[in-house]
Amino acid sequence: MTQTYLADHTLLLALPAFVPAVVVVGVIVYIARRDRRNPDTGAEPGDEQETRGSTGEDDSP
């Protein structure tokens, strides 16, 4: 008498739990890589030094 093994679908049943996690990680990695390639060019290097001690007033009447 031979015994036939049926397919084990454990991995198939685990996919709904892992796919959303992989998608979230993929989105985070995509955003991080995009931000590293395109640094913020709107701010000039001297801007943060100027605003540190500045009160926002220009001494005009």
pLDDT of residue 43: 59
State the pTM of this model.
0.46
pLDDT of residue 10: 86
What percent of the chain shows pLDDT beyond 70? 62
What average pLDDT is seen over the chain? 77
Domain boundaries, the chain: 9-36
pLDDT digit string, tens, across residues 38-60: 766 665 555 555 555 556 667 66
How far is CA 36 from its chain centroid?
Answer: 11
What sign does the dihedral 24-27-30-33 (CA atoms) show?
Answer: negative
Given a cut of 90, whether residue 27 has pLDDT beyond it is yes
Distances (CA, A) of 42 to 17, 18, 56: 41, 39, 20
Strands (E), the chain: none
